Structure 1
């Protein structure tokens, strides 16, 4: 038990650090939890990791809120739609074969990585090209899509949110990351409510993991704010590449 908690807490710290900067901490925390606690059902492990994820994301969001100006109309529209969709995705996760969706996501991720790498100005500066009405509408639509994805599959949600805030809504990397944290709080909370209602949470593991996820998130958010957009852009590319490897393994190698 003690060894399991130590390993889980280390994974949670790393996940919190990554999540606070560009999202994608679930790529570390979720597989690690599955590996360390193979004796528990998948739904129980998914429910358990939602507590540290929510805790760490909340701390990062508070840290960003002190230095980044939020667009509250866009934020509310995206968060509300993502919350509803994430709850629906969590409900349907046991009824839909998500392996058919993963090849499509893999292609999208490769395209995102290539575009971000070759477009050096992508997300370095803020570019507002739409009216606030159009931004709110786009935020609500993408909130539904990504929220549902988070509840159904999960890994890379933070990175997809950042991409939407930059490419569709015209934010820079730092602003996109800050807004993504709030939306991700909503998706995590929605999924957590469903898993808690259905009794799929192991508090003896979730609570210490949450403490370490918070510590990692605090450090990650502080570093992102200190280093700025170019650092976040590089970190974004690294995490997207890691996400690509994960999905490529699932699509081509995993039985």
Structure 2
């Protein structure tokens, strides 16, 4: 496909915004994917290119959080391993099964997270005692959410943040940082499948990747430097938009 200069400029700007939002609360794909499709990119190619550029954003945010001391890789190593395994299983299974039933289930689960977060104004402000053994947590949710991201995907970051805060007692900033690591892990699996399928627009994806790197860096600094209430507002906004997007797809 061929694009004009102004279209490449739009791709870059939108990728920056998507990377910024995704680093804070997830859901950057809700911004970038529609733009790709509006520019006439076919659905499968848009999904593949979006996964490529989005992976740069999650990597950028992950590196920045790690350098600022928000990620203990020893602590979450088993989460990385089991998320990778879960994503491999989910990505493989989607080739044989129909994931459409999740269009009905996921908006309900996200709505529960949305309502719970609204009525828990102090959620994630301070670190609390874990309600679940860490090793068991990473095995269970690494497999479940890794599988889900490989199989379907929308709202994965929101689910990770919610279980980190609710079950592991993480403060919101730490939850965001660890979510980026595990999002990147499952993204790589999906990206590998798309690369094999040959659907990626490399020039567009790499250009947007640069925008994602910059956006992810700025967004992760926003998380580090700003009050939790701002992160909470953006998190609620992206969860709400994800719910609306899934309902719209159903209609």
Per-residue deviation, 1:48? 1.5
TM-score (norm 1): 0.90
* Secondary structure, aligned partner of 1:98: coil
**Aligned counterpart, 1:164:** 163
Contact 2:130 2:167 in 1 (8 A): no
Contact 1:57 1:181 in 2 (8 A): yes
Contact 1:85 1:145 in 2 (8 A): yes
Per-residue deviation, 1:91? 3.1
TM-score (norm 2): 0.91
Contact 1:9 1:209 in 2 (8 A): yes
Distance, in Å, in 2 between the alignment partners of 1:70 and 1:125 is: 16
Contact 2:16 2:214 in 1 (8 A): yes
* Secondary structure, aligned partner of 2:83: helix
Alignment of 1:82-97 (within 5 A): 82-97=83-98
Distance, in Å, in 1 between the alignment partners of 2:203 and 2:180 is: 26
1:30 aligns with 2:33: yes
**Aligned counterpart, 1:246:** 245
1:13 aligns with 2:16: yes
Distance, in Å, in 2 between the alignment partners of 1:137 and 1:172 is: 20
* Secondary structure, aligned partner of 1:160: helix
Distance, in Å, in 1 between the alignment partners of 2:113 and 2:131 is: 22
Identify unmatched segments of 5+ residues in structure 2.
none
Contact 2:110 2:155 in 1 (8 A): no
Count of matched residue positions in the alignment of Structure 1 and Structure 2: 248
1:49 aligns with 2:78: no
Distance, in Å, in 1 between the alignment partners of 2:144 and 2:78 is: 13
Per-residue deviation, 1:35? 2.6
Contact 1:27 1:156 in 2 (8 A): no
Identify unmatched segments of 5+ residues in structure 1.
none
Per-residue deviation, 1:228? 3.2
Change (3 A) 1:18 1:169: same
1:110 aligns with 2:88: no
**Aligned counterpart, 2:82:** 81
Per-residue deviation, 1:73? 4.2
Distance, in Å, in 2 between the alignment partners of 1:222 and 1:71 is: 18
Contact 1:70 1:179 in 2 (8 A): yes
Change (3 A) 1:127 1:219: same
Residue deviations 1:54-92 (CA, integer Å, cap 9, x gap): 111111111112334434344112111111222332333
